[in-house]
Amino acid sequence: MLLRSTGLRLPLDAYLLSPGETTKVTEAHRVLVRRCMVRFGFDYPPVTEGGTGGGLTSWTERRYGITDPAEAAARGYRLRTPAGPASAAEPGPRERIVLTGSGGKRVKGLAVPEGGCAGEAGRRLRAGGPGDVDRGLAQALSTESYERSLQDRVVRAVTEQWSRCMRANGQDYAGPLDPPDDPRFQGSVLSAAERATAKADVSCKRRTNLVGVWFTAEAAVQRSLVERNHDALARVAAMNRTELTAAQALLSK
């Protein structure tokens, strides 16, 4: 019986950057964009202070809802929100041209790179990687597998078992993805009701083995999708490695 989903790996995870790896690539892209913008005399995106927080550690951590009893008791349905840098202000008109490459070819006498500084940064991270890569393929297939798994007969049956368990605890929800969207839990204050609901949620998942059943069903769907898209996914994986290697090298300097 599977109790927590954090350490689970679905077949398509091999073709997706992990949450931590995604953060590295995003930060490296931000660094390269800023260096390019500085060439044109713009401080964008601005340097901001901020630490690295505790967001998702894996894509399966909340894929089937909350599964960690300690987190349920401490935070209800709330994620460990990263305390990263704040979003940059909207760029001005000339900054936008340099950032995106849209609306002009020269700014301050300098040629704007194709696709702007964002395009230049992306090309630098992808340099040396394979061509003809559908960057959204793995995520699209992951979404497809998730939606198909929701319709699986066994998953629907175990979801109903979970729902009955929740009703026995005084909570009326059709499925385990519903409680986090409960209007009662949308405010900034974490309530005792939210914590109690999350704790009951985890307990009912354990009693019904919902995570184990759902994961097994979705993994079967993903294995089929990986087999049918093997060559295209291999190119995605190679590009992921290229970007991550470039990002790690950049951020280590």
CB count within 10 Å of CB 93 equals 8
Q: Using one digit for the tens of pLDDT, what is the confidence trace for 88-102?
A: 678 889 999 999 999
Tokens 């003809």 appear where?
A: 132
Task: Provide mean pLDDT across the span 13-31.
Answer: 95
Q: Using one digit for the tens of pLDDT, what is the confidence trace for 241-250?
A: 999 999 999 9
* Measured distance CA(129)–CA(11) in Å, rounded: 22
* Measured distance CA(229)–CA(231) in Å, rounded: 6
**Are 107 and 216 a contacting pair, CB within 8 Å?**
no
124 Cβ contact partners less than 8 Å away, ≥ 6 residues apart: 32, 246
CA nearest to 2, candidates 236, 215, 146, 169: 215
Least confident span in 66-70, 83-87, 190-194:
83-87
Q: Is 36 helix (H, G, I), strand (E, B) or coil?
A: helix
**pLDDT at residue 53 greater than cutoff 50:** no
Residue 111 is inside which H or E element, if any?
A: strand 110-111
CB count within 10 Å of CB 189 equals 6
Q: Is 110 helix (H, G, I), strand (E, B) or coil?
A: strand
Q: Using one digit for the tens of pLDDT, what is the confidence trace for 144-177?
A: 999 999 999 999 999 999 999 999 999 999 999 9
Q: What is this structure's pTM?
A: 0.88
Q: In the chain, where are the structural domains located? A: 11-56+82-251
148 Cβ contact partners less than 8 Å away, ≥ 6 residues apart: 218, 221
Determine if residue 44 is left, alpha or beta; phi over 0 gives left, psi from -120 to 50 gives alpha, anything else beta: beta
Q: Is 100 helix (H, G, I), strand (E, B) or coil?
A: helix
Q: Work out the pLDDT band at 51, boundaries 50, 70, 90.
A: very low
CA nearest to 1, candidates 221, 153, 217, 211: 211
CA nearest to 150, candidates 127, 180, 123, 177: 177
Task: Provide mean pLDDT across the span 122-140.
Answer: 96
User: How many CA atoms lie within 13 Å of 132's alpha carbon, on the beta-carbon side?
Assistant: 3
- Report the Cα–Cα distance between both ends of the chain, in Å, rounded: 45
